[in-house]
């Protein structure tokens, strides 16, 4: 099992939205970064644990827990000309973008970015590294344990 931090804009899908969805699951669609795509496609497995992180909002931070509940499959939005995630170079025979499904586990108190930065024990957490803009990052087991202890 691996651990991940996955960013979502709460105006698109928040932890509360995930909790209210049918089967409390959502396809993690719209990722258009090759490294993040590769994490989903090549490394994520059913049962992997996820910090659900609210980004691009007034109070960014870890808002809840989720788990990967379906392995990577082609992201349907790449084929939809009406979608902002449409990719004219993608075909059903050669998809470029993938997503996994994640399932709600629980909502937590919001652990904001400032609080995360205040703990030297997790200084190596990728989201805290200067210039990191990835929407999906791996989390080291020791970082996961520490953050679980402060939730």
CATH number of 3-139: 3.10.590.10
| Residue 77: closest CA among 98, 100, 104 | 98
Write down the pLDDT at residue 133. 85
| Structure confidence by residue, pLDDT tens digits, 94-144 | 999 999 999 999 999 999 999 999 999 999 999 999 888 899 999 999 999
Residue 110, Cβ neighbours under 10 Å: how many? Answer: 16
| Structure confidence by residue, pLDDT tens digits, 28-53 | 999 999 999 999 999 999 999 999 99
Q: Where are the chain's structural domains?
A: 3-139
Collect all residues with Cβ–Cβ distance below 8 Å to 39 and sequence separation of at least 6.
Answer: 4, 136, 137, 138
% of the chain beyond a pLDDT of 70: 100
Q: What letter does residue 30 receive in the DSSP assignment?
A: -
Collect all residues with Cβ–Cβ distance below 8 Å to 78 and sequence separation of at least 6.
Answer: 85, 86, 87, 90, 95, 96, 97
> pTM of the predicted model, to two decimals?
0.94
């Amino acid at each position: 099992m691996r651990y991940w931090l996955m960013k979502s804009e709460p105006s698109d899908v928040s932890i509360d939205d995930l909790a209210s969805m049918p089967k409390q699951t959502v396809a993690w669609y719209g990722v258009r970064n090759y490294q993040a795509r590769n994490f989903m496609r090549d490394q994520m497995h059913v049962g992997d644990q996820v910090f659900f992180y609210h980004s691009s909002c007034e109070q960014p931070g870890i808002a809840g827990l989720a788990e990967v509940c379906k392995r990577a499959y082609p992201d349907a939005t790449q084929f939809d000309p009406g979608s902002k995630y449409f990719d004219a170079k993608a075909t059903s025979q050669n998809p470029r973008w993938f997503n996994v499904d994640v399932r709600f586990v629980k909502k937590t108190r919001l652990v904001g970015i400032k609080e995360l930065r205040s703990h030297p024990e997790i200084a190596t957490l990728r989201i805290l590294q200067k210039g990191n803009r990835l929407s999906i990052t791996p989390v080291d087991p020791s970082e996961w344990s520490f953050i679980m202890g402060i939730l």
